[in-house]
Amino acid sequence: MSSSSEKSDRVSNIIAVLIAVVSVFAAIGAWRVAVATSAAGNADADGLLATVDRENALTGANVTVYGRMFAYARAVMDDAIASALQPIADNTTDATLKARLEEERASRIAGANQLRFSIPQQYLDRDQKYDLERDIGETTADLTLERDTFPAPHFEQADYQRGKAQWLLMFVVFLGVAFVLLTLADAFKNALRYVLLALAILVFVLSVFGGILVEVRGPLV
């Protein structure tokens, strides 16, 4: 009778130790879930900021480039007007009108040259044609040079961390099952306690192994 009581006490002590161990691992698992969830939130925030920076860069580039395009269009218009005034001035016999036409023509040419000078010269070819696509590309690149404008990697990382948190949470729940089985095993004093104890140990081992696997490899699917 005494031997049976001592054996029962030893089993109870083992169960108590296992309950403590399960509690520690459950706390660690909950901490890792919190870390992964926080990392997912931070990655989402970084992705949103990168999206905003990208849109700001594109907007800034478009505003800058379309301002230059407008200046180029005005320069082309001034050149066209100056060219149209040339034959009129040549065929005019009125000296006063001729002088006014020449003055207007010179003003238009000067204005066109000034407008073209306001455009970075690398975007004008030898014929003074404006390269709109090159300007948009290089201006956008300049504005994004010191910014993070690629949100996709951040959102992928957020999905990864969120999946990791979900799997870790599942294994923490399994640890809770092990805790319940150990508690029940401690309540029984017959052969059933050994069955419950074995199941609890199995669930505990699988949960810990699964949690480690998730930490090493990430989400399992």
User: Tens of pLDDT along 178-199?
Assistant: 999 999 988 887 888 899 999 9
Which of 57-71, 97-111, 149-163 is the most confident on average? 149-163
Residue 27 tokens, joined: 């706390």
pLDDT (tens digit per residue) in 167-178:
999 999 999 999
Facing residues of 124 across strands? 130
Q: Give 108's contacts (C-beta < 8 A, 6+ positions apart).
A: 78, 79, 81, 82, 85
The predicted pLDDT at position 1 comes to 46
Distance CA 39, CA 28 (A): 16
What does the pLDDT average to over 14-30?
93
Q: Are 174 and 22 in contact (CB under 8 A)?
A: no
**Within 13 Å, how many C-alpha atoms sit on residue 132's CB side?**
9
211 C-beta neighbours (distance < 10 Å), count: 22
Mean pLDDT, the chain, integer: 89
Q: Which one, of 203, 160, 159, 163, lies nearest residue 179 by Cα?
A: 203
Contacts 24+ apart (CB under 8 A), 152-159: 152/47, 154/43, 154/44, 154/46, 154/47, 154/50, 155/43, 155/44, 155/47, 157/39, 157/40, 157/43, 158/40, 158/41, 158/43, 158/44, 158/47, 159/40
pTM of the model: 0.72
